[in-house]
């Protein structure tokens, strides 16, 4: 069996396990049934879910922030989630292009790019 198939199978097992644990938590009253259960698509988080995690992390972030600030906040709040730094970078870029975030200046690799919340 090829390694790629084993990795994919492992991710599917983890996703299935997380969904079952979420259902048990709802039954035990540890989690609200209104909260979105963990969902994985082909082993990766969906784009909308990552944006929701970013919005949640930004609720407690300062007015100006970097990718590392957001990524560390997501890791602290959702340590078991399968979120890569690149997913956060890409989602922040998309949010900036859509006008949801302000990008005051680009540092072109010399310093981290800073984002600002829009009022």
Residues 31, 55: one domain? no
Residues 38, 3: one domain? yes
Residues 19, 58: one domain? no
CA atoms of 108 and 49, how far apart (whole Å):
28
Count up the domains in the chain and report the number.
2
Confidence of residue 34 (pLDDT cuts 50, 70, 90): low
Residues 54, 111: one domain? yes
Q: Quick one: how far is CA 98 from the chain centroid?
A: 18
Q: Which residue range is the domain that position 22 belongs to?
A: 1-43
- CATH (domain of 113): 1.10.10.10
pLDDT number for residue 35 = 61
pLDDT number for residue 31 = 63
Residues 1, 38: one domain? yes
Residues 33, 58: one domain? no
pLDDT number for residue 29 = 76
Residue written as tokens 């906040």?
73
């Amino acid at each position: 069996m090829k390694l790629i198939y084993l990795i994919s199978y492992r991710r599917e097992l983890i996703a299935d396990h997380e969904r079952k644990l979420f259902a048990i938590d709802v039954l035990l009253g540890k989690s609200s049934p209104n909260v979105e259960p963990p969902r994985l698509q082909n082993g990766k988080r969906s784009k909308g879910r990552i944006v929701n995690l970013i919005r949640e992390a930004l609720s407690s972030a300062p007015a100006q922030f970097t990718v590392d600030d957001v990524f560390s906040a997501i890791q602290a709040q959702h340590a078991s989630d399968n979120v890569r730094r690149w997913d956060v970078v890409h989602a922040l870029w998309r949010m900036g292009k859509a006008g949801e975030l302000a990008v005051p200046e680009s540092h072109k690799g010399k310093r981290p790019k800073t984002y600002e919340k829009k009022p």
